[in-house]
Amino acid sequence: MIEVRGIKKAFGDQEVLKGIDMDLKPGQCNLIIGSSGSGKTVMLKSIVGLIQPDEGQVLLDGRDWTAMKEHDRKVLRQEMGMVFQASALFTSLSVEDNVRFPLDFFSTMSASEKNERVAFCLDRVRIPQSALTKNPAELSGGMQKRVAIARAIVLNPKYLFCDEPNSGLDPETSVVIDQLIQEITHDFGMTTVVNTHDMNSVLEIGDHVVLMRHGYKVWEGAGPDILHSTDQEVVDYVFRSALFKKVRAALK
Amino acid sequence: MLSGFLRGLGSYFLFLGAVLRRPESWREYFKSFIREVDLLGMSSIPLVVFISLFMGAVLTIQTAINLDDPFIPDMYIGIAVREGILLEFAPTIVSLILAGKVGSNISSSLGTMRVTEQMDALQVMGINPASYLVLPKIGASLLFFPILVIFSIFMGLLGGYLAGDWLHLVNPDNFLMGYFDEFRPYYVVYSLTKTVVFAFIISSVSAWYGYHVKGGAVEVGKASTKAVVTMSFSIILFNYILTDVMLQ
């Protein structure tokens, strides 16, 4: 379980997070949703430690991540995997080497065991053999996201973080990526946190959803329940986001 | 303006502190170091050879024309060319050229990694991006720039000799004697010390600019330009300081 307690963050005079509490459920797909500027990216970066919050705590299975020393943080980071909005694959390395990279740094596996693990992860995200020696720039956006997922899970992390994994993808590929994240979460028992503004993802994979607006948490609950909320802010957000047929059909 | 400069200087030293942390994996850092030697050093050899050959040739022609006097033996032209290449042209001019080639490469590659979140990816993995990305570049520059400058000295001397001979500006034997006459090994120490300082300036300043890029592709380009300007100023300034300290 990831517990967020009273997180506040300001950049200069601009308060981006205004004291947020949330419980992100273990072994589930937890979605942080909200429109642009709601603070969800700062929230996710605060949870993974890329941004140091001004106040509050992030507890990873009871361990106070925000108060940890740098050395302990580095150890704990090996339990984390992250998929970035722009995939963030290393352009100087091939697809295969990108996935192998965390193993080379932190694993005591033999070379053949590493090869097996890399092959398993790439197979799991359905990357064909023909793509292994390619440079990430030669892949489509969807394939880059899948390679990024393979790299994120190669150390078998407990926590998987995804920052807008559907960004820049067509609706069909977005669904494929969503399903992949859901499968991986449930198959490997990970605690997954996905940052998105895609209402389709909420209905497809949102085991647990947190809605943010202007730096506050507006709503928290199981994904489909958001459609039954009577809170005006939630209703407004859902209607604004109802761009997909599935959402519209569910609303009827 | 002064406060901005001091803030930048403070940020630069904090950055160096982050760069000089203990590596997470010596083996991976060493692999990266070898890649950087190839990328920053080996790939610069053709450019250094070309520049140095013509630099030596031009220096010989200019010196020979200006010392065209029957009372000045050709040996002195050789000495002048040797000292010019050894003391100034090879370490300083080659470093300025490398500031443009290698420095802009470091700055733009790190800047691109910053704006495409590749550095964040390293940090989330538990790898110190400043150390992993910059330390091998500094190490490769410190090791390979002196090799390039030694190479440049020899190529410059060769270019000077060939130009003098082919254009019949000097008697080749007398000119060559000047290369060896009253040679002071300390000048090599001076030349290489300057090169090591310039190598550190080029690799660390350009890395600082690239590492702190905010924004997108336009900012990466701007950072690269600023890095080259700052490095050039710094090289010229430290050239004066080191010359004053080491040759006075």
Please tell me the distance in Å from B118's CA to the nearest CA on chain A: 5
Q: What is the mean pLDDT of chain B?
A: 93
List the single residue in B with minimal CA-CA distance to A88. Answer: B118
Please tell me the distance in Å from B34's CA to the nearest CA on chain A: 14
Instruction: Give the pLDDT confidence of A108-146 residue by residue, as tens digits.
Output: 899 999 999 999 999 988 899 899 999 999 999 889 999
**Does the distance separating the beta carbons of B118 and A50 come in below 8 Å?**
no
**Does the distance separating the beta carbons of A48 and B126 come in below 8 Å?**
no
Find the range with the poorest average confidence among B14-18, B169-173, B225-229: B169-173
Integer-rounded Cα Rg, in Å, for chain A is 18
Q: Which residue has the higher pLDDT, A199 or A51?
A: A51
Which candidate, B106, B99, B133, B96, places its Cα nearest to that of B220? B106
Instruction: List the domain boundaries for chain A.
Output: 1-79+192-252
CA distances from A15 to A5, A36, A42 (A): 17, 15, 11
pLDDT bucket at B97, cuts 50 / 70 / 90:
very high
In B26-65, the residues whose Cβ lies within 8 Å of chain A are 27-28, 35
* B173 close contact with A: CB closer than 8 A: no
Instruction: Give the pLDDT confidence of B98-148 residue by residue, as tens digits.
Output: 999 999 999 999 999 999 999 999 999 999 999 999 999 999 999 999 999
Find the range with the poorest average confidence among A90-104, A115-129, A161-175: A161-175
Q: How many CA atoms lie within 13 A of A46 on its CB side?
A: 31
pLDDT bucket at A230, cuts 50 / 70 / 90:
confident
Share of chain B above pLDDT 70, in %: 100
Residue range B236-242: average pLDDT? 96
List the single residue in B with minimal CA-CA distance to A51. Answer: B120
pLDDT bucket at A238, cuts 50 / 70 / 90:
confident
SS (H, E, C) B155-215: HHHHHHHHHHHHCCCCCHHHHHHHHHCCCCHHHHHHHHHHHHHHHHHHHHHHHHHHHCCCC
Tell me the chain B residues in contact with residue A85 when contact means C-beta distances shorter than 8 Å.
117
Residue range B174-193: average pLDDT? 93
Q: What pLDDT does residue A172 have? A: 83
Report yes or no: B115 and B219 within 8 Å, Cβ to Cβ: yes
* B127 close contact with A: CB closer than 8 A: yes
**Does the distance separating the beta carbons of B118 and A88 come in below 8 Å?**
yes
Q: Which residue has the higher pLDDT, A167 or B226?
A: B226
Fold assignment, A1-79+192-252 = Rossmann fold (3.40.50)
Please tell me the distance in Å from B137's CA to the nearest CA on chain A: 15
Give kind and range of the element (H or E) at residue A16.
strand A14-24
- Per residue in A217-251, is it b (16+ CB within 10 Å) or e — as a string? bbbbeebeebbebeeeebeebbeebbebeebeeee
Tell me the chain B residues in contact with residue A102 when contact means C-beta distances shorter than 8 Å.
125
Q: What pLDDT does residue B188 have? A: 95
Q: Count A/B contacts: CB-CB distance under 8 Å.
A: 53
**Does the distance separating the beta carbons of B118 and A91 come in below 8 Å?**
yes
A84 secondary structure, DSSP code? B
Q: What is the mean pLDDT of chain A?
A: 88
